[in-house]
Chain A
Amino acid sequence: MEREQRLASFKVNAYAWLLLLPSLIFLVLFTFYPVIQTVLLSFYQADLGTPEPLFNGIDNYKRMLEDDVFWKVITNNLWFALWTVPTSMVLALLMALYANHVLRGKGFIRTAYFYPTVLPMIAAANIWLFIYTPEYGALSHVLQWIGLDQLNWLGDQDLVMWAMVIMVVWKEAGYFMIFYLAGLQNISQELYESASVDGARPWTVFRRVTFPLLMPTTLFVMIIATTNSFKLVDHLVIMTKGGPDNASSLLLYYIYEHAFTFWDQGMAATLTFVMIVILLLIAAVQFFGMDKKIHYN
């Protein structure tokens, strides 16, 4: 009896594993294997001076910690995340609330909010490159028209990061809006009806009903937004190449530079390892730390 049961459960398990196998193969082949290779390579010196990789222990890590540009890039990235994530989330929520309630031109408004998401990042970067170009860019024209001085958005160390933040918020907010919109439409109308019977003010309704019920969406969007802010790189290639003097460089671009401009594979692997750790930390903190506090329907 017991043996039969065990056999049956083995069969069920085997079946499940077989169903998972295709994904598992891809996961191993294209995720776990490269990650392990990267971690191994980060303990080797492998650059133009040493075409045959040479084991050098934690030298790469030491060099990385002593590298001013690395710290600048990390600071840039934190700063970038700090501004893009909350801003685009708040904006997305406001847009979703509006798009959810508006009566006329619903389709138009949703499309208008969503269209930056449809554009490929490279195309968006080219558009914004034109907007930010001094002398004859769109923004310069507007500034001139209202009688202000032109700004060299991409050529000024203090402005370039702001320029990037504005563009990315524009690009991301519409994307996150879609999640909030879906979240809003999942909230039961009965709750709003009973709230209105109780005579609750709109702000109270939002604070007590809408927002708490949107928390699962908020958590999801926050993870996507934060990891995105570390994964974003295409616009830098088009717009600034990380300049001037690394003022707009982000971690992923710095990795790209090490791998493909300096051809320093060891250091690129080391930086990639840092990147993986950061992304894992973000996901872990949010899933384990915040998930418990969230009220699901």
Chain B
Amino acid sequence: MGKIVRSMLLIMIIFTLAVVGCSNGTTPANSTSTSGETGEQTKQNGEAAGQEKVELTFFYPVAVGGPLTKIIDQMAAEFNQQQSNIVVKPVYTGSYQDTTTKVQAAVQGNNPPDVAVMLSTELFTMLDMDAVIPLDDFVAKDGGNEYLNDFYPGFMANSQVDGKTYSIPFQRSTIVLYYNKDAFRDAGLDPEKPPQNWDELVTYAQKLTKDGQWGVEIPTSGFTYWMFQAFALQNGKNMMSEDGKQVFFDTPENVEALQLWVDLAKKHKVMPEGVIDWATVPSDFLEGKTAMMYHTTGNLTNVKNNATFDFGVAYLPAKKTYGSPTGGGNFYIFKGIDAQKQEAAWKFIRFMTEPERAAQWSMDTGYVATRKSAYETDKMNAYVADFPAAAVARDQLEYAHAELSTHNNGRVTKALNDSLQAAITGQLDPAAALRKAQEEAEKVLAPFNQ
């Protein structure tokens, strides 16, 4: 008996040590993101001993249709080839929301990725978490204001706080109106004249609605606040203060805007009732189930490659003015990684935002090339000349403003999303819905206004 007890004890001790050993062993390594690639990691660690390779983990999301993971992998491979001492490992991290979650969890675990693409609107959240570094020193050493000023101001608006630059625009977009020219012809509308204002939007949509085809679809899941922000901007004013501490949801202009949105389905019957899914709207458009859609320009290449009909792209219809929020993701570099890695991450960002590459990225996806000089490259000129729709989102930037971004952004946008959906599904009238969103957002923002 004694023997058995002793051997059992021994086994237990070994076992416990193994468990403890494991949990210690995983913490410093890149456990959350790259657990599936340990083999590769060991290989590279072996190499590092020889020639000091800097290895970067790069998180990125995909929010539009098309083979974007392939394109990003190619770009990273190209970078790795050009550089002898930096290896970038792209990690596809799901939707924007999933990516933010993974980044936040990694930051909490003291194991941040080195560089990531996240929504530009996450900036305040990242600052509250003390997770990202300002890039001004890198910029000053490498291009300075000449580099920064080449980016469209509409995109820089969500990238800077208090005069410091924290992120660099990458896969950026605005909302545009896609319309089916064939359907316009069938309905007796001029296919070269998309609706210019809200009234025309309604009358055109009425003409375009027939059995099996809706006049217009505006997605109301996922990025509900973003779509609504376009209406708000068209009616005069953005929905938040620049410092991200105040929101202006329940203005009379916004109530009017939400009323129009609700009426499209309920009163005019030109849009499906209830919540319309973000991802199915482009499919509906491509299938001919809707003649017009509001969607991100990031889907342009997807639509171009898959549309079996003649289609057009236009500014969103105006009220007082044209308007669209900018959207999409920026590059961030994280705190808590060593300086050498931060330097390498900056090199990677520079590489990814070079005019030629930004132009290629825009052509591959439909996202707006973030730099003016990208549109001066030969290949972009040729592309735009051949496919003018590719320039619409860029031109609309003249009327574009910063995307809704506040402190505790997840909570504020959810308050607005919920209320907008309540109005769209007929549970609350627009004024009450926006008042509720305003009250809730004010509660959430109160700690930041002390």
Segment at the interface with A among B31-39, B187-195, B347-355, B411-419: B411-419
Q: For B8, what are the chain A residues with a Cβ–Cβ distance below 8 Å?
A: 15, 18-19
Query: Contact: B283 with A263, CB < 8 Å?
Result: no
Q: With an 8 A cutoff between CB atoms, is B9 at the interface?
A: yes
Query: Contact: B104 with A263, CB < 8 Å?
Result: yes
Taking CB atoms and an 8 Å cut-off, the chain B residues in 251-297 that contact chain A are: 272-277, 280, 283-284, 287, 289
Q: How far is the CB of B208 from chain A (nearest CB, A)?
A: 15
Q: For B120, what are the chain A residues with a Cβ–Cβ distance below 8 Å?
A: none
Q: Which of A136, A157, A257, A263 has the most CB of B within 10 A?
A: A263
Q: How far is the CB of B292 from chain A (nearest CB, A)?
A: 15
Q: For A11, what are the chain B residues with a Cβ–Cβ distance below 8 Å?
A: 1, 5
Contact of A262 among B16, B274, B414, B418 (CB under 8 A): B414
Query: Contact: A18 with B9, CB < 8 Å?
Result: yes
Q: With an 8 A cutoff between CB atoms, is A291 at the interface?
A: no
Q: Which of under 10, 10 to 19, 20 to 34, or 35 or more describes the interface residues of A?
A: 35 or more
Contact of B425 among A14, A19, A133, A244 (CB under 8 A): A244
Query: Contact: A263 with B125, CB < 8 Å?
Result: yes
Query: Contact: B105 with A260, CB < 8 Å?
Result: yes
Q: For B105, what are the chain A residues with a Cβ–Cβ distance below 8 Å?
A: 260
Q: How far is the CB of B143 from chain A (nearest CB, A)?
A: 33
Taking CB atoms and an 8 Å cut-off, the chain A residues in 238-296 that contact chain B are: 240-241, 243-247, 257, 260-264
Q: With an 8 A cutoff between CB atoms, is A147 at the interface?
A: no
Query: Contact: B129 with A263, CB < 8 Å?
Result: yes
Per the bound structure, the CA–CA distance linking A12 and B280 in Å amounts to 65
Q: How far is the CB of A262 from chain B (nearest CB, A)?
A: 5
Q: For A264, what are the chain B residues with a Cβ–Cβ distance below 8 Å?
A: 411
Q: With an 8 A cutoff between CB atoms, is A48 at the interface?
A: yes
Q: How far is the CB of B254 from chain A (nearest CB, A)?
A: 18
Query: Contact: A135 with B129, CB < 8 Å?
Result: no
Q: For B276, what are the chain A residues with a Cβ–Cβ distance below 8 Å?
A: 152, 155
Query: Contact: B289 with A135, CB < 8 Å?
Result: yes
**Residue of A at shortest CB range from B422?**
A245
Q: With an 8 A cutoff between CB atoms, is B397 at the interface?
A: no
Q: Which of A134, A156, A246 has the most CB of B within 10 A?
A: A134
Q: With an 8 A cutoff between CB atoms, is B376 at the interface?
A: no
Q: With an 8 A cutoff between CB atoms, is A47 at the interface?
A: yes
Per the bound structure, the CA–CA distance linking A151 and B400 in Å amounts to 36
Q: For B411, what are the chain A residues with a Cβ–Cβ distance below 8 Å?
A: 261-262, 264
Q: With an 8 A cutoff between CB atoms, is A58 at the interface?
A: no
Given contacts A136-B283, A155-B274, A262-B410, contact A48 B5 (CB under 8 A): no
Per the bound structure, the CA–CA distance linking A244 and B276 in Å amounts to 10
Q: With an 8 A cutoff between CB atoms, is A29 at the interface?
A: yes
**Residue of A at shortest CB range from B420?**
A245
Query: Contact: A156 with B130, CB < 8 Å?
Result: no
Per the bound structure, the CA–CA distance linking A75 and B221 in Å amounts to 23
Per the bound structure, the CA–CA distance linking A135 and B448 in Å amounts to 44
Chain B interface, >50% SS class: helix
Query: Contact: A243 with B408, CB < 8 Å?
Result: no
Per-residue interface assignment for chain B, residues 10 to 37, with 1 indicating a CB less than 8 Å from any chain A CB and 0 otherwise: 0010011001000000000000000000
Taking CB atoms and an 8 Å cut-off, the chain A residues in 77-91 that contact chain B are: none
Query: Contact: A18 with B275, CB < 8 Å?
Result: no
Q: With an 8 A cutoff between CB atoms, is B388 at the interface?
A: no
Q: For B274, what are the chain A residues with a Cβ–Cβ distance below 8 Å?
A: 152, 155-157, 244
Q: Which of B4, B275, B284 has the most CB of A within 10 A?
A: B275
Contact of B410 among A15, A245, A263 (CB under 8 A): A263
Given contacts A49-B408, A51-B128, A245-B419, contact A14 B424 (CB under 8 A): no
Q: How far is the CB of B147 from chain A (nearest CB, A)?
A: 31
Query: Contact: A48 with B424, CB < 8 Å?
Result: no
**In the complex, how many residues of chain B place their beta carbon closer than 8 angstroms to a beta carbon of chain A?**
46
Q: For B283, what are the chain A residues with a Cβ–Cβ distance below 8 Å?
A: 136
Q: For B97, what are the chain A residues with a Cβ–Cβ distance below 8 Å?
A: 261
Contact of A245 among B5, B15, B280, B427 (CB under 8 A): B427
Per the bound structure, the CA–CA distance linking A240 and B274 in Å amounts to 13
Q: Which of B15, B129, B411 has the most CB of A within 10 A?
A: B411
Contact of B1 among A15, A48, A135 (CB under 8 A): A15
Per the bound structure, the CA–CA distance linking A19 and B448 in Å amounts to 54
Q: With an 8 A cutoff between CB atoms, is A123 at the interface?
A: no
Per-residue interface assignment for chain A, residues 138 to 182, with 1 indicating a CB less than 8 Å from any chain B CB and 0 otherwise: 000000000000001011110000000000000000000000000
Q: For A243, what are the chain B residues with a Cβ–Cβ distance below 8 Å?
A: 221, 275, 417-418, 421
Given contacts A48-B408, A155-B274, contact A135 B287 (CB under 8 A): yes
Query: Contact: B4 with A15, CB < 8 Å?
Result: yes
Query: Contact: A152 with B272, CB < 8 Å?
Result: yes
Given contacts A15-B4, A257-B414, contact A156 B425 (CB under 8 A): yes
Contact of A152 among B128, B273, B418, B421 (CB under 8 A): B273
Per the bound structure, the CA–CA distance linking A264 and B272 in Å amounts to 35
Query: Contact: A154 with B277, CB < 8 Å?
Result: yes
Q: Which of B1, B104, B272, B277 has the most CB of A within 10 A?
A: B277
Per the bound structure, the CA–CA distance linking A11 and B4 in Å amounts to 11
Q: How far is the CB of A25 from chain B (nearest CB, A)?
A: 7
Q: For A29, what are the chain B residues with a Cβ–Cβ distance below 8 Å?
A: 19
Given contacts A245-B427, A262-B411, contact A51 B19 (CB under 8 A): no
Q: For A260, what are the chain B residues with a Cβ–Cβ distance below 8 Å?
A: 101, 104-105
Query: Contact: A47 with B287, CB < 8 Å?
Result: no
Per the bound structure, the CA–CA distance linking A50 and B407 in Å amounts to 12
Per the bound structure, the CA–CA distance linking A148 and B438 in Å amounts to 40
Q: Which of B284, B418, B419 has the most CB of A within 10 A?
A: B418
Given contacts A51-B129, A133-B277, A155-B276, contact A21 B12 (CB under 8 A): yes
Q: For A244, what are the chain B residues with a Cβ–Cβ distance below 8 Å?
A: 220-221, 274-275, 421-422, 424-425
Q: For A18, what are the chain B residues with a Cβ–Cβ distance below 8 Å?
A: 5, 8-9, 12
Q: For A50, what are the chain B residues with a Cβ–Cβ distance below 8 Å?
A: 447
Q: How far is the CB of B2 from chain A (nearest CB, A)?
A: 9
- 14 more A-B residue pairs beyond the given contacts A134-B272, A244-B220, with a C-beta to C-beta distance below 8 A: A25-B15, A25-B19, A136-B283, A152-B272, A157-B274, A241-B222, A243-B221, A243-B421, A244-B422, A247-B425, A260-B105, A261-B410, A261-B411, A261-B414
30 contacts between A and B (CB under 8 A): A14-B5, A15-B1, A18-B5, A25-B16, A48-B125, A49-B128, A49-B407, A49-B448, A51-B128, A51-B129, A51-B130, A133-B277, A135-B284, A136-B284, A136-B289, A152-B273, A155-B220, A157-B425, A241-B221, A241-B222, A243-B221, A243-B418, A244-B274, A244-B275, A244-B421, A245-B421, A260-B104, A260-B105, A261-B414, A262-B410
3 closest A-B pairs (Cβ-Cβ)?
A155-B274, A155-B275, A152-B274
The interface of chain A, by Cβ under 8 A from chain B, is 11, 14-15, 18-19, 21-22, 25, 29, 47-51, 69, 133-136, 152, 154-157, 240-241, 243-247, 257, 260-264
